[in-house]
Every structure is written in C-alpha cells, then in structure tokens.
Structure 1
Amino acid sequence: MKPGSDDINTLSRRDLIRTAGAGALAGVGLAMAGTVTSAQERTGTVDVERHSVEMPFPLNAYVVEGEDGLVVVDATLTNTASRELRARVDGLGKPLRAVLLTHPHPDHYAGLGNLTEGLDIPIVSLASVNDIARRDDAEKDAVISSMFGEEWPRNRVFPNDTVGDGDMLDFGPGLRFTVMDVGPAESFHDSIFVLEGSAPAAFIGDLVYSFMHPYMADNTNPEWKRAIGRLRSELPEDMILHVGHGLPVTPAFLAWQEAYLDRFEAAIKAADWSDPETAQAAVVTDMTAFLPSDKLLFFLEQSILPNARRLGMTR
C-alpha cells in the first residue's frame, strides 16, 4: 500500500454538525458516499485498507498493515469476497499475523476459512463472540446455504484464541490493539478493537451503520442504545470508527444511529397492527423517509416483526 493522503473516506464530526435533523444528515452522508474514490487511509504510521464488497450487499473487512506484518479485521460472507480478501493480503507480501472478529454475525465470520486457509495463525475474538458464532452456525447454515448456494462457504472455521475486556494484543510494530467488550448491542455480543497509534482509530463492527439500514432482528435494541451511550462518553471525538457497512465515521455519528433506533421503535408503535402486513409496510415507509436509501433495506424488513413482538404490538 502507498502512504495515504487526506482522509476522504470518513464522515466526520464537522460534516455532521453542519446539518440539522436526521433527514438532512442522511442526505449529506449519501452525497458524500457517492464521491469516495479510495478505500485506503493512514492511521498514524499504519495503513488501513478497507476491503469493501457490494455483492450480495455492502460489507467491509479491513487489512491493517504494520511494518512487517498484517492483521485483518472480519472476514466477509461469501466465497468470492473472502477469497478476494485473501488474495489482497497475499499481494501485500507481508505475513498475516492474526485475524480479529468483532461479532458473531455470519457476514463477518463465514469467510474465515478461506481467509486463513493453509495458515496457522490466531483468529481472535471475545469468548462470548466465539461461543455465539459456534452456537448459532447450524441455524445460519440452514437459512443462508439456500440463499447463496455455492457462494456460502462450507469450510467455515471459528476463533481459536479468545480475549477479554482491556486485553492488549501485540502483533508487531503498528499492529497493537486494545480490546473493548461492549456486550449485547447490534448482535448478541459485540466488541471493539482499538488500534494504537498517533491518530485514534477503532474497528467497531456493526455498532454503527454508515447511512445504511441496520440489522435489528437479534432484538437487542435496548442494549444497543445503552452501548451507544457508553461509547459516546468514552470514545475520543476525533477517533476514526471503521464500520462493517459503509464509510468510516467519527463518534459524533453515534447520535444518528441512536436516532435511527428511536425512530424505528416509534414507527412500530405508531403502526396499526390489526393488519400486520400493512403495519410492516408503514414502518418501512417511515424509516425510508428518515433514511432515503435502499441500502440494506432487507435488514430493516427482517427486523420489524421481532421488535414488534418485543414491544407487545403483535404476537
């Protein structure tokens, strides 16, 4: 990788506070996303390369390049995407020291087998992330294998090294991370890997969706909002947050994510659940008014009924 220049991939605090209201924020963010031409940036003296795929839906993994090695964060979903990620790693000519897994959703762990094929390296996660990924894999396999066919990896592997909150991970110069255990949030258990360096940066999985509709079908939105409150108080305001879906952001964007979750819950409560099909359509209409985009819209659609049941609106 070549040394990066100005960071044009990040939706910054400055960009966010220029606008007022969630709808305006969405319009600005989507316009900015359309101007992005690079997926590489510098974090201190470390290169961070975003491996972004669009099929079957927008999704990121990250390659962090230190002085004499690499660390990858998350592993994508499909055979094609994860093999391309491995080819990208091999092309850099430095050894892959480790893979870090942020949370137990299959679009982040399913490609681990292809990414690490033939390598004896640590695949690192919180113990709970590892346990949940293993626990739910058979259920995910039953659903996703029929959806993606030959693109669904059959050689799935799981973390082989677990860590805890506050642990320090050292994989060589430029590849030092601190673990944050977030607990249940977007998924049944989430974590953050904070990259040490002169510029604060962190890999936060799906704790924020960068102007895309989030997956909320795990039905943990109350815990997610509590996690957002914690992160808003603890993360430096100029930290770059590398997200699982979309462009990097700063912690100011956490307020937008919280507003999305609040709007979603309000839309469910406002719908007429005497006709569940009409009620679900009303929620989609309301949320696409809040965020006028179809990116990951099916995540939203999958999330309505579980949350409606939690809120007591339907059985």
Structure 2
Amino acid sequence: MNGMVTVLDKGAVRIHSYMSPADTFHTTTQLIETSARIIAIDAQLLPAYTDEVIAYAKGLGKPLDRLIVTHAHPDHYNGAARFGAPVHALAEVREQIIARGDSKLPTGQVIPVIDFTPDVELVPGTEVIDGVPFVFEAVSGGEAADELLVKLPDQRVLIAQDLVYNDVHLYLGNNDITGWEKAVDALAAESGYDTVLAGHGLPTGPEVYAEVRRYLADARELLGDDGEAYKKAIVDRYPAHVGPFIIDIANRSLFGAGH
C-alpha cells in the first residue's frame, strides 16, 4: 500500500483513516465502520489511491453504504465513481462540483464531471445509523466556499476534513483567510471532542486548531502580491510541512496563471 491507514477503535464505531502519500499532499479518506456498514467520507485525487481505499474497505467485510463528499475540491471527489455507492453532498457542494466541470489529472487523464457528481442531497441535521448519531453541519467560508462538518458526539470524534490540515501546507486559493479563521475558532469552541480527523494529515486532537490558526496568521502576514515570494517565506517558516506544491496550485487562483 502506498498510503497509510490509521485505525481508531471508538467502541460502536471503528474509524479507518486512509492518508495518501505526500505526492497528493496527504489527502484523507475516512472509513467509518459501524456494526453493519461502512460510511466513506471523501474520495482521493488519483485513481490508484482511490483503489487502495476501496480494496481496504472491501477487506472489512461490510457493505459500503455511501460516499460523502465534504466540499468541491478534486482531491476529495475525483475517485467518487469508483466506490460504486451513492454519493452524498450538500446541495451547494454539488452545484460547485458541477460548475468546476471535468477534472484533469496530472497525468493528463480527464475524468468527466458525470463520474463524480453527487446524486443524493445531504441535508444538515442528525441521522442515526446503526444506533450511531451522525451530526451533519454546513460551514460557509474558509478553505472552500462551503464544506460539510461531520460529528460523532457519542464517540467524541469531529470529522473536520479540510477545515483542518495536520502538518500539511494550507491551500489558500479560496482567498478567505478570515472565513477560515472564524471556522477554526468555532471548532475550537466545541466541547466534548477529543479526536479530530483532518482532510490532510494524520488524525489528531484539539491542539491542531491552534496550529492551523497560527499558520493562517503567518499567511496573512506573508501573503503580499508575489506568489513565489510568499511560497518561499511560508516554506521557510514551516520547513517540515508536507506538500509545498499545494501552494503553487493556490497561487494560480490567487495571482493568475503565471504562477
């Protein structure tokens, strides 16, 4: 396996957190295993890593009930069709995915938008699955225009996905540092959660909020009108972080195609 799986035993739920290699900036897929099924949260950018997740899930011996896509970034939905399960997403996220259109991989392969368009509208609220409450909340602004936050209150698990990165450079292409700061502050104010699942990086705890907040403050300080200068400055400040090329991707949105 190229990726890494971290297993967290939470009683009525076992969480299998798949993290891709550094070449796709440690993107995560969360497999939430209940007594009778598996709920997958977010796909992967590359088919090879998606297939690793699916092979691992099949090895658990339970049906894959659904794939939930938390937001409209290709590294979290490109492989959706390969799961062979209904794809759930917020209505706003579905619209944004359709608006982005076909996805082109670094290899040049094109994945048609129809292959990853969500087909089930996810409505915020609480759904009890096999006796386990799943709390779905919509969050606006930050890393993406709209994101889904998933809480497992009985297990004290908060599935933040791209509202939180763990030791990976942040994607700032949505150009909303203030919105992201507000979202992180709201997460930090949550009580009763001791496990946080990040969209990039290993599972962590509430201490990650201060780390993300610090990175955002540094980005606000360093982000001027020169993308290359910003990249050098932020990489120098966070030399151990994975995925500096995610800064290049963000810079194309922030500063234009020349970056």
**Fold shared per TM-score above 0.5:** yes
For 2:115 and 2:54, locate their aligned partners in 1 and report how far apart those are by CA, in whole Å: 15
Report the counterpart of residue 97 of structure 1 in structure 2. 65
Report the counterpart of residue 47 of structure 1 in structure 2. 14
For 2:121 and 2:157, locate their aligned partners in 1 and report how far apart those are by CA, in whole Å: 22
Query: SS in structure 1 opposite 2:184?
Result: helix
Query: SS in structure 2 opposite 1:303?
Result: helix
Report the counterpart of residue 313 of structure 1 in structure 2. none
> Does residue 164 of structure 1 match 2:123?
yes
For 1:221 and 1:236, locate their aligned partners in 2 and report how far apart those are by CA, in whole Å: 24
The TM-score, its normalising length taken from structure 1, stands at 0.73
Decide whether aligned partners of structure 1 residues 302 and 173 sit closer, same or farther in structure 2, where only a CA change above 3 A counts.
same
For 1:38 and 1:280, locate their aligned partners in 2 and report how far apart those are by CA, in whole Å: 34
Report the counterpart of residue 195 of structure 1 in structure 2. 152
Match among 33, 47, 60 for residue 65 of structure 1 = 33
Which structure has the greater CA radius of gyration? 1
Q: Is the 8 A contact 2:17 2:203 kept in 1?
A: no
> Does residue 182 of structure 1 match 2:150?
no
Unaligned runs of 5+ residues in structure 1 are 1-36, 274-278, 310-315
For 2:242 and 2:160, locate their aligned partners in 1 and report how far apart those are by CA, in whole Å: 19
For 2:235 and 2:23, locate their aligned partners in 1 and report how far apart those are by CA, in whole Å: 21
Report the counterpart of residue 236 of structure 1 in structure 2. 191
Query: SS in structure 1 opposite 2:185?
Result: helix
Decide whether aligned partners of structure 1 residues 47 and 193 sit closer, same or farther in structure 2, where only a CA change above 3 A counts.
same
Decide whether aligned partners of structure 1 residues 135 and 38 sit closer, same or farther in structure 2, where only a CA change above 3 A counts.
closer
Report the counterpart of residue 257 of structure 1 in structure 2. 212
Matches within 5 A, 1:30-179: 39-54=6-21, 56-57=23-24, 58-116=26-84, 119=85, 122-138=86-102, 141=103, 144-145=104-105, 147-150=106-109, 153-154=111-112, 156-165=115-124, 167-174=125-132, 176-179=133-136
Decide whether aligned partners of structure 1 residues 168 and 75 sit closer, same or farther in structure 2, where only a CA change above 3 A counts.
same
Report the counterpart of residue 293 of structure 1 in structure 2. 240
For 2:62 and 2:205, locate their aligned partners in 1 and report how far apart those are by CA, in whole Å: 29
For 1:170 and 1:97, locate their aligned partners in 2 and report how far apart those are by CA, in whole Å: 14
Q: Is the 8 A contact 2:5 2:16 kept in 1?
A: no
Q: Is the 8 A contact 1:97 1:171 kept in 2?
A: no
- Cα deviation for residue 214 of structure 1 reads 1.1
- Cα deviation for residue 238 of structure 1 reads 4.0
- Cα deviation for residue 304 of structure 1 reads 4.0
For 1:123 and 1:196, locate their aligned partners in 2 and report how far apart those are by CA, in whole Å: 23
Q: Is the 8 A contact 2:18 2:29 kept in 1?
A: yes
Unaligned runs of 5+ residues in structure 2 are none
- Cα deviation for residue 137 of structure 1 reads 2.4
- Cα deviation for residue 40 of structure 1 reads 0.7
Q: Is the 8 A contact 2:195 2:205 kept in 1?
A: yes
Query: SS in structure 2 opposite 1:224?
Result: helix
- Cα deviation for residue 281 of structure 1 reads 3.5
Larger helix share, 1 or 2: 1
Decide whether aligned partners of structure 1 residues 230 and 196 sit closer, same or farther in structure 2, where only a CA change above 3 A counts.
closer
Query: SS in structure 1 opposite 2:117?
Result: coil
Larger strand share, 1 or 2: 2
Match among 171, 177, 183 for residue 215 of structure 1 = 171
Query: SS in structure 1 opposite 2:75?
Result: helix
Q: Is the 8 A contact 1:51 1:60 kept in 2?
A: yes
Q: Structure 2: which amino acid aligns with 1:104?
A: A
Match among 165, 168, 180 for residue 224 of structure 1 = 180
- Cα deviation for residue 110 of structure 1 reads 0.9
- Cα deviation for residue 153 of structure 1 reads 4.0
Q: Is the 8 A contact 2:160 2:198 kept in 1?
A: yes
Q: Is the 8 A contact 2:194 2:206 kept in 1?
A: yes
The TM-score, its normalising length taken from structure 2, stands at 0.87
In the TM superposition, what whole-angstrom CA distance separates every residue of 1:67-98 from its partner, at most 9, and x where no partner exists?
11111111111111112222222221111122
